[in-house]
Chain A
Amino acid sequence: MSTPALLLRGGRLVDPSQGLNEIGDLLIVNGLIEGSGHLGEIRRDGALETIDCAGQVVSPGFVDVHCHLREPGREAVETIVTGARAAAAGGFTAVCAMPNTDPVTDNQAAVGFIIRQAQRAGAARVYPIGAISIGQMGQTLAEFGEMVGAGAVAVSDDGKPVVSAQLMRTALEYARTFGIPVADHCEEPTLAANGAMNEGIISARLGLRGIPAEAEEIMAIRDILLARLTGGHIHLCHMSTKGSVELIRWGKDRHINVTAEVCPHHLSLTEEAVEGYDTNAKMNPPLRTAADVAALQEAVKDGTIDVIATDHAPHHYDEKEREFADAPNGIVGLETALAVNLTWLVHRGVIDVPMLVERMACAPARIFKLPGGTLRRGSVADVTVFDPDAPWTVDPARFRSKGRNTPYAGHTLRGLVGLTVVEGRVIHRREQ
């Protein structure tokens, strides 16, 4: 490996995996963490690039366990290259791509394609998530073993719930052989049918069909109970309600193998963002109430929710430029996640920076058994450097992602990524 050694000088090293939170230097050699602390003058043969990180946080690279990169099938909306670059710009050193592509990522060849495209991209790492069922049709189990062999790190039918409890049971059992989580999009389809936003006073006023919190919670508790039955690892995607938090807490109290994620938008925005029929506030699960946001924030703090994931879901601008009920669900998130989390969670005193790093870097790597998530000597040098305070105004035109659909356009947020390093190689550097 011929990348020059890298010395990140004088930043605040934040690594909850080893309880590290102090000013220091980080030395990266041959793609691995060589050392950290007050390293003084470094003398070595070969190239050494020194980067001043004073005033910045140096942390394990962020890992997003939930994004949609749209390739294959909808390359006009996003590709693995543009998605991986957007991830890098957002401080993510690795992302997990959901399998609801066209064709669906439900076999080893499809998994291999994503791995290959990601290698070509040379930006953030991209780990494929395979489908639970062939074609995500909810009928026949996909070949987990073959997909894991090709590089898949989890299975999910995300975008759709696994309606059949029997199929979910089988998936949780079968996944145990390969030690992978089964990630579920929790949505009871008959209750949520045709829903466009959270059910409540605002949906009633706007005349939009609502999705009750119970549509998510019914499936969340079903999945938790099936994890209890099978001993399999259920990972609950994009939790959005107070009730879900209580159910996850119930499961964890009983040592059921359940982990859960929440998205930055569910930690920051409420259903009020839909007022005026703003389709950039339309996603599934929908934005909920202030009480839900508060409960989710508390769950991030106390660990009931393990990870923050983006559910990055790019759409072409004219797909969102239409009647609310007909507009597609989803918003982009890779390039705003850090700043949204810092602005709403850290700067408002809900959690501190080390806890944010735990939820965005350490926990996702640990739960999905991925490299990274730590700055320990000898581990792979996936590192993010960010200024936790710097304000900036979101201008979607500047995104690396092809997607522009964000409810944060024009918001002034705090927190800027300075440097993203994958295996010792700088894949993103902030323009000065």
Chain B
Amino acid sequence: MTASESLGKDLLGLEHLSSDQIRLILDTAEPFKEISERAIKKVPTLRGSTIVNLFFEASTRTRISFEFAEKRLSADSVNVASTGSSVSKGETLVDTARNLEAMRIDMVVIRHGASGAAQFLAERIESNVINAGDGTHEHPTQGLLDMLTLRDRFKRLAGLRVCICGDVLHSRVARSNIWGLQKMGAEVAVCGPRSLLPNAIAEFGVTVFERIEDAIQWADALNILRLQLERMQGGYIPSLREYNRVFGVSRERLERAPKDILILHPGPMNRGVEIDSDVADGPHSVILNQVTNGVAVRMAVLYLLAGGRPELAEAAKGGGAR
């Protein structure tokens, strides 16, 4: 069995992956971590592959992380942003897709504001499609790098108690985390104002904490979501000040926890809103480890979708085995 068979053509989300597939990606990421520690951060693994990073939404971190992953694997990649391309002239997603396909590309990494956009693209082109965030649906590589970071620290995911804090309603990171962590045997909770949780949240099989203090008592790790500032204008919460007072993760609140709690945040942070600076910069924060792991996870995904066999990942770092 080849890895491409076991992962499929595309990575659209974690909801429909099996625990074996998730484990495969995480395990494949391990040997790729080391490449980024080298003086010459480049292996020839994806030499000759053409990859388009198709970003319909502004993104710095995710786009750069994918770009580094591609470059360190020697792929040829092109960035297409929604401004300055035909997309901004009103071209439809399906036409954009067909034009890319006509240029004989191998993979597309897509970030789009509409839920389902990655699947839409994947159903219409033969290239591999990687979802780099679609609307409020999924952001699978973020979920994977969060899990890799948790696994690094705890050496396991099964039985781990992870609470996702904040705007779950509008968060693709939250959904990918919930599906991924549940499949890997972790216990997942959410905590946030009810106006920022889906009404059907209980049907996700997660525990819901009304108060951040209760979440902190329960959790091994908190994954603190960015509070989009437009949510306040949208009337979901009255003010950032009150949000911080009621739901903000502060050092004082963490000090009342029965144990040390690992702190994750997908970034970019609003310091003083959902997370206080002394927590973000504190000893239990792994926020920068997440960023480092992001490159390794994305290298693993690119490698596996390109047809690389996981047992060759170690060897691939040195040679051109594909």
A residues at B contact (CB < 8 Å):
199-201, 203-210, 212, 276-277, 318, 321-326
Contact = CB atoms under 8 A, between A and B. Distances in A.
Nearest to B15: A205
B175 A205 contact: yes
Given A324-B116, A326-B114, A207 B94 contact: no
Interface string B98-124: 000000000000001011110110000
A207 B199 contact: no
A51 B22 CA distance: 65
Given A318-B92, A322-B94, A323-B93, A207 B136 contact: yes
A86 to B, nearest CB: 26
Contact of B92 (A276, A277, A322): A322
A205 B199 CA distance: 11
B187 interface: no
Nearest to B123: A276
Nearest to A321: B94
B135 interface: yes
Contacts of B15: 205
Given A207-B138, A277-B120, A324 B199 contact: no
A323 B112 contact: yes
Given A201-B203, A201-B204, A277-B115, 6 more contacts: A204-B198, A207-B138, A208-B136, A321-B94, A322-B93, A325-B135
B201 interface: yes
Nearest to B135: A207
Contacts of A277: 115-116, 119-120
A212 B116 contact: no
Given A321-B94, A323-B93, A207 B200 contact: no
A318 B175 CA distance: 30
Interface residues of B, number: 24
B92 A324 contact: no
B67 interface: no
Q: 7 closest pairs, A vs B, by CB?
A: A207-B137, A277-B116, A323-B114, A204-B198, A207-B136, A207-B115, A201-B200
Nearest to A274: B116
Contact of A204 (B119, B135, B172, B199): B199
Contact of B175 (A201, A207, A209): A207
B134 interface: yes
Given A322-B92, A323-B117, A207 B134 contact: yes
Nearest to B199: A199
16 contacts: A199-B199, A200-B200, A201-B200, A204-B198, A205-B204, A206-B137, A207-B175, A210-B199, A277-B115, A277-B116, A277-B119, A318-B92, A322-B92, A322-B94, A323-B117, A326-B114
A206 B93 CA distance: 19
B120 A323 contact: yes
Interface of B: 15, 92-94, 112, 114-117, 119-120, 134-138, 172, 175, 198-201, 203-204
B115 A206 contact: yes
Nearest to B114: A323
B290 to A, nearest CB: 22
Nearest to B115: A207
A212 B200 CA distance: 11
A320 to B, nearest CB: 11
Contacts of B115: 206-208, 277, 323-325
Nearest to A199: B199
Nearest to A276: B119
A173 to B, nearest CB: 35
Contacts of B201: 204
A324 B114 contact: yes
Nearest to B198: A204
A396 B222 CA distance: 51
Nearest to A277: B116
Nearest to B116: A277
A256 to B, nearest CB: 31
A325 B114 contact: yes
Contact of B172 (A207, A210, A322): A207
Contacts of B137: 206-208
A203 B92 CA distance: 24
Nearest to A200: B200
Residue among A321, A322, A323 with the highest chain B CB neighbour number at 10 A:
A323
B177 to A, nearest CB: 13
Contacts of B114: 323-326
B119 A212 contact: no
Nearest to B172: A207
A276 B93 CA distance: 17
A122 to B, nearest CB: 37
A197 to B, nearest CB: 10
B120 A212 contact: no
A325 B199 CA distance: 19
B203 A323 contact: no
A322 B92 CA distance: 7
Contacts of B119: 276-277
A289 to B, nearest CB: 11
